Structure 1
């Protein structure tokens, strides 16, 4: 009798786990729109140009190039940034004028003292297949030259947005023990050497770093919504004031199974596109969600009187 009970419990457990995994897979892949060209297997940043065509960049190891994608995910055009290097390109964003910014600021070991952002014109204004960038350099004042202690390893970076005349940088937390805090730094959007100014922070989770460290960011075209991407979620921030992104309402959108999600952008004020890197045959896709259709878990709702 005991053996039958144990077998029943085992079968029920396996069934429940299978249903949960299946549900998580469906949650992600029901949003899939295309498979990205294999040349972009480490896609790390995406952005739409003024003609609403999707551009992408690769992570470290590739040439300093932008790639325009066709609607089927194949590559339509490549643009080489002639005065750039791709040490660790991690995100791409644009300002209200349409300038693209390419973030060469990956800092896995927290040992890069000076980091780089390349500013170029909107790709529709680039006539050939090469361009030259304006170069923005920045450093963290907190990195004073002494070794970074494990509990202070929060100088890696994979996410940024442009607002006004500034760029806002969201760190990828690598602290040990993991505290789940992404810090927000601010630098100018023009060629100069900047000390990044720490202005805010937000805690995602404290469980496993690979589940909730921040890998990309985007602002809606009307600049009223901010999204931060991690391996399982989109964090949505609304009704904030100025550049106090975390001062308003906060929601979380579940993206299902864990994949290496590395890039996110807005197509319009209601439509979000995000991608994941290909790893052992999993990922390498672009996905689409509509904010007015997707389920959102409210994390914090600020009373209107306080907004």
Structure 2
């Protein structure tokens, strides 16, 4: 099996920003046919676009739909079965009062007990209203809730709205949270990179500029992201592969850490989350199915040496 060093040269500029990490040369492995362990129930199966495990209880997950649905979060079990609503049994999901589902693409959870609903879809690269909704994690039996704050954001490197076709790289379908920091992985449409950004300020009264962190060549478009609770592992999906990056915890340069990979065959995977440290759940938007992958099923594809940035 080929395990080659990814390209890690640095720009010789005063910025000290690293060049994107090139894709390692990958072994010749046939795509794994993912086997469903369950299927989303009513409501949650409309157009699933994100899933995350609750921090309040181990058997609870939260999922959202894309723009074809009302502004709702859905409490589900790991096999996709829906929690019933005590007050609104005929209307599944928890409605977020005041929120708008323009293009919800992912959901995250922080250490403070907040769900973060990510309205960051930007297919046309023209949005100036990208927003995160922060809400205290509701009871899975609730029918309605509201958000605590909403945070608008923008990319530091986007100059035009819409951006030029040669720089159509400001869409996002992967958002995750490590402790109190939110991170976004871009879905580039002009190339095969995924850029990692960090939200350093979350002021609800201004548009917050993201901080660029790093970039990796995924060889395709990213569709989802999640981090393990300890923040050491980052899972990112494309339409045909699962990538996991592992760091020592002292940095957020995930793409410079150990890299694991698994090609898969599925219809349209658009959601991923950790279920514990070694189990990863993937969800298919088209078929509403849930798949389970164990970390030891992935292949390590790097021999990286972390290069400090002066």
TM-score, normalisation: structure 2: 0.79
2:187 is the alignment partner of 1:187: no
| Larger Cα-atom Rg | 1
Q: 5+ residue gaps in structure 2? A: 1-29, 86-92
Question: Does the 8 Å CA contact 1:165/1:189 hold for their aligned counterparts?
Answer: no
* Equivalent position SS for 2:301: strand
Q: Which has the higher helix share?
A: 1
* Equivalent position SS for 1:151: helix
2:61 pairs with one of 48, 54, 61: 54
Q: Which residue of 1 aligns with 2:25?
A: none
Question: Does the 8 Å CA contact 1:43/1:277 hold for their aligned counterparts?
Answer: yes
Shift of 1:72: 5.5
Q: 5+ residue gaps in structure 1? A: 1-22, 206-211
Q: CA separation in 1, counterparts of 2:188 and 2:227?
A: 21
Q: CA separation in 1, counterparts of 2:34 and 2:141?
A: 37
Q: Which residue of 1 aligns with 2:89?
A: none
Between 160-169 and 113-122, the greater mean CA deviation after superposition: 160-169
Question: Does the 8 Å CA contact 2:274/2:280 hold for their aligned counterparts?
Answer: yes
Between 112-121 and 232-241, the greater mean CA deviation after superposition: 232-241
* Equivalent position SS for 2:63: strand
Q: Which of 1 and 2 has higher RCO (CA within 8 Å, sep 6+)?
A: 2
Question: Does the 8 Å CA contact 1:100/1:119 hold for their aligned counterparts?
Answer: yes
Which stretches of structure 1, 4 residues or longer, exceed 4 Å deviation after superposition?
303-306
Alignment of 1:91-240 (within 5 A): 91-124=106-139, 128-133=142-147, 134-145=149-160, 147-175=162-190, 179-188=191-200, 190-192=202-204, 193-205=207-219, 212-240=220-248
Q: How many residues are paired up?
A: 264
Question: Does the 8 Å CA contact 1:165/1:188 hold for their aligned counterparts?
Answer: no
Tell me the C-alpha RMSD between the 2 structures.
2.2
Q: CA separation in 1, counterparts of 2:49 and 2:105?
A: 5
* Equivalent position SS for 1:217: strand
Q: CA separation in 2, counterparts of 1:239 and 1:72?
A: 29
User: CA distance change for structure 1 residues 172 and 304 in 2, over 3 Å: closer, same or farther?
Assistant: closer
User: CA distance change for structure 1 residues 35 and 164 in 2, over 3 Å: closer, same or farther?
Assistant: closer
